[in-house]
Structure 1
Amino acid sequence: MTREFSTEPALPAGAIAGSPQPELAADGGLVLRPWDDADAPVFLAAYQDPAIRRWHTRRPASEDAVRAWFEGYRRDWEGERGGHWAIAAADGEVLGRIALRGMDFDDGLAVCAYWVLPAARGARVASRALRALSAWALDDIGFHRLELDHSTRNEASCRVALASGYAWEGTKRSAAVHDDGRHDMHLHARVRDDAGRFGPPKAPSAS
């Protein structure tokens, strides 16, 4: 069945899949690069960290499962559904993960997600990576709106979002299941023409 729209898609088909997934440079010598099968051990180890386990309930059980995830990541890129990157230091050490998921080319939307390994925390790794990914997605590719959400109890992720220009837009009640039950989620977003319109992103009000 042919789909008919009254408006043109915000992004044309082939906007990303027509070329290999790029490496992206971030401030401080960080590099966002596609995952490689050789990264499977460090990726699996990340999900043994209590903080990562607290906020991420979908977790790989083995290196084989990780490599299957990586193959899914490659298919996501080819199918223009998402992009998944390792956040690496200049020497190649993996510091974290960042992704752009749920790509909607009709409306020009996508959703960001990230985590950082314990040894790299406190060095603004996540915010530097998120700013670099956001600039690529909004300015180079042409997405109009990027979103991210996090548990209202995850104050560190909230700081990353605000530091990266993602305004807090509200609270999604009982929107996600974590190991200890359902959590309310803060919704943040960054829009391509935000600069100069809204001022600094506002922080969530105290609950």
Structure 2
Amino acid sequence: MTDHLRTPHVRDSSLVLRPWLPGDLEVVLDVYRDPAIRAGSRVPVTDEAAAVRWLRLQEEGRESGLRHSFAVVDTALGELPVGNVALVHPAPGSDSAEVGYWTAARARGRGIAPQALGALTAWAFAAFAGDGLVRLDLIHQVGNDASCRVADKAGYGFAEVLPARPPWPLEGHRHERRAAGGR
């Protein structure tokens, strides 16, 4: 892996961001039993085969450079992942990319999502500045007030309401964060 694609991490914190591993299968299965996670997911995980596919998609995305998905481990809660943060590049050299996240029910309300998203954001702007990345978008369905709060805490300002489009049946919000000096 090249230097700019090293796993991001949060300093002075109990959070560690690392690649997803095959041994995380049970965590993925458990997390996707949560209706809130299933409702916000673009890739449903309903059984072990789907969880294996999900983990494989994370690895393939990292290898292709088009998706960088990281397990979020809060060492204060143990060694197992309690969340996910991801950076999705629509095309190499694009000036924008999309970020996403989820947090396991047992870890919600602890500030993990905004802190992990902040770490991913800092890493993404540092890692891909030379490729022209200047804007990150966080998109969620209207009515997801928790995601609006996470976006705000992570420095993503509200940008616009998006029309409903598959796989989302409702309108959405787009929040954005720009790199220092970004257009």
1:141 is the counterpart of 2:125: no
Task: Give the drift of 1:58.
Answer: 2.6
- Give the structure 2 partner of residue 72 of structure 1: 57
1:163 is the counterpart of 2:153: yes
Match of 1:87 among 64, 72, 79: 72
Contact kept? 1:97, 1:116, Cα under 8 Å = yes
Contact kept? 1:144, 1:192, Cα under 8 Å = yes
| Bigger radius of gyration among the two | 1
Q: Distance in 2 between matches of 1:88 and 1:63?
A: 22
Q: Distance in 2 between matches of 1:104 and 1:92?
A: 34
Note the alpha carbon deviations across 1:60-119, whole angstroms, 9 max, x for none.
232232222222222212211110111101242211111111343323321101110111
SS at match of 1:138: helix
Q: Distance in 1 between matches of 2:44 and 2:73?
A: 21
Structure 2 counterparts to residues 161-200 of structure 1, below 5 A: 161-178=151-168, 182-193=169-180
Structure 2 counterparts to residues 74-153 of structure 1, below 5 A: 74-90=59-75, 91-142=78-129, 143-153=133-143
Unaligned 5+ runs, structure 1: 1-16, 198-207
Contact kept? 2:34, 2:105, Cα under 8 Å = yes
Seq. identity, %: 31
Note the alpha carbon deviations across 1:42-62, whole angstroms, 9 max, x for none.
101111112112222531232
- Give the structure 2 partner of residue 22 of structure 1: 6
**Matched positions, count:** 177
Judge which range, 129-138 or 108-117, deviates more. Answer: 108-117
SS at match of 2:170: strand
SS at match of 1:130: helix
Structure 2 CA distance for partners of 1:95 and 1:194, relative to 1, 3 Å: farther
Structure 2 CA distance for partners of 1:131 and 1:194, relative to 1, 3 Å: farther
Structure 2 CA distance for partners of 1:22 and 1:62, relative to 1, 3 Å: farther
Contact kept? 1:138, 1:192, Cα under 8 Å = yes
Contact kept? 2:87, 2:98, Cα under 8 Å = yes
| Greater share of residues in helix | 2
Contact kept? 1:35, 1:86, Cα under 8 Å = yes
Contact kept? 1:21, 1:34, Cα under 8 Å = no
TM-score (norm 2): 0.87
Structure 2 CA distance for partners of 1:77 and 1:19, relative to 1, 3 Å: farther
**Residue identity opposite 1:33 in structure 2:** R
Q: Distance in 2 between matches of 1:191 and 1:51?
A: 28
SS at match of 2:62: helix
Q: Distance in 2 between matches of 1:164 and 1:126?
A: 8
Q: Distance in 1 between matches of 2:3 and 2:48?
A: 28
Q: Distance in 1 between matches of 2:53 and 2:122?
A: 29
